[in-house]
Structure 1
Amino acid sequence: MRSHKITFAALAVAAGLSLTACQNDDDAAAQTDPSSVATASPSTDAPDAGGSDSGGGKETADGAGSDQSGTAAKCRTDGLKITAIDNFIDGDPQGTVAVEMKNTSGRDCVIAGFAGVDLKTNEGTLSAERKGAPGDPYVLKNEKTIAFSVTYPLNETGGTGVRITHLVVTPPNETKSVTLPWPGKPSLPVTDGSGDPVTVGPIGSAGQGG
C-alpha cells in the first residue's frame, strides 16, 4: 500500500497599519484602520478510500471499480471467490478440473485471456500450458461466475505417479495468486517428457455467467 505524505499548509498575510490624520478646528484626532490577518486552515492530502490504479480508474476496497470513462475495471484477485471442482467424466481420455471465479466485489468487472495455473506436486511445481484462443473481454456481473478448464493426463500406469497436492491460480493480468486443494485425480503419470502436458483453457472455456 502506497504511503501518502500528509502536508499541512498555512498562509498568513499581514497588512500594515495606515494612519490618517484629520485636523478639525477644535482638536486633532488620529484614526487608525487595522487590516485583517487571514490564516488558511491546514489541508491534508488524504488518499481515496479505495486507491487508484495506474490508469487513473478509481477502485473499491475489494478490488473492482470503474475507470474515468465509466466502464468496468478489470477483475482483481481480492474481488473474486475462486474455487475448483473435479469435472472428469468416465471415458474421457484426460482428466479435467473446472476452476470457477465468482465476482464478489460488489461491482461489475472485466476479465479476459488466460489465468496462470500451477500444480504443486511431490516433485515440485508444474506450470500448465495455454491451449486455445482467448475470447473477447467479458463483463463479469457482480455475483456472477465464470470458469475455465484445466486438463491433465490420467495416470494409468498402475504406479503412484507424481502426486498432486495443490492448485495455484492467478487471475488474468494479476500477480496475486490463490492456492486451492487439488480436486482432481491424485496423480500424474511419470513420463520422459513425451506425454500429454497439463493445459489451461481461456477464460470462459468451462462455461460462464452462472
Structure 2
Amino acid sequence: MPDISTYVLCSEAQLRALLDVHYGGHLLGQFWGGATASEAARRLGEPAPRVAYHVGRLRALGLLVPDDRPGRGQALRPVADRFVVPAAMRPALGTHTARPLLAALSEAFLAAHTLTPDDPQDLTLLDLRAEAGEVDLGPVAPEAARLMVRVARLQPSAYDRVMRAAWDALAREQQAEAGTRGARLFTFSLMGFPGSLLPLSDPQRHQGE
C-alpha cells in the first residue's frame, strides 16, 4: 500500500481556501499526480486565467507546490494527499467557514434536478433492507442527481470502516475511469456524524442495548 502523506493545516486562511466550493479542494484535486494550471483548467472546463488566479492563491498558502518530476512544464502537485484540521483549529470549523460550502452543495444539488429530462422519473431516497447487495436507485438516468440518507446504529469502529470503504471505492473508480472517453465531472459529498437527525435524540440513551 503506498504511503499517504498528511498535511496539518496551520491557518484559518488555509481552511477557508480548502472549503471554497468552487476553487478550493475541488481545484486542488485536479493536481493530484501532477498537472499544470492549463491542464487543470481543461479538466474543469474553466477559463485558464480564472483558474490561474486561484492556483496562485493555493500556491501562496503552501497548499500547491512544484512537481519536480522531469518532462512537465511548471507542473504542480498538492503538498500532501490528506489534509487535517488540528484540534486547536477545530473552533474555526464553524458556521462562518463550513456553512457556505454546505449551502453551495445544496444549491448545486437542487439545480442539478433542473437539468434532467422533462419525463417524470422515480428516485429511491431510502432503502431499509439490511441484506447486502446492489442498491436499487429506481429507473433514473445514470447521470441523474441522487440523494440517499440513512441513520444506522453501529459500533464506532464499524462507522469508521464504512466511511473509509465508501471513500476508497470512489477513489478506485476515479482512477479506473481517468481519461476514458465520455467521462464527466460528478460531485460526491460523503458526510457522517454521531447522533441522528432528531433534535431530541440522546446519543447515550441506547448504549448497552
TM-score by length of 1: 0.17
Quick check: which one's helix share is greater?
2
Quick check: which one's strand share is greater?
1
TM-score by length of 2: 0.17
Larger Rg: 1
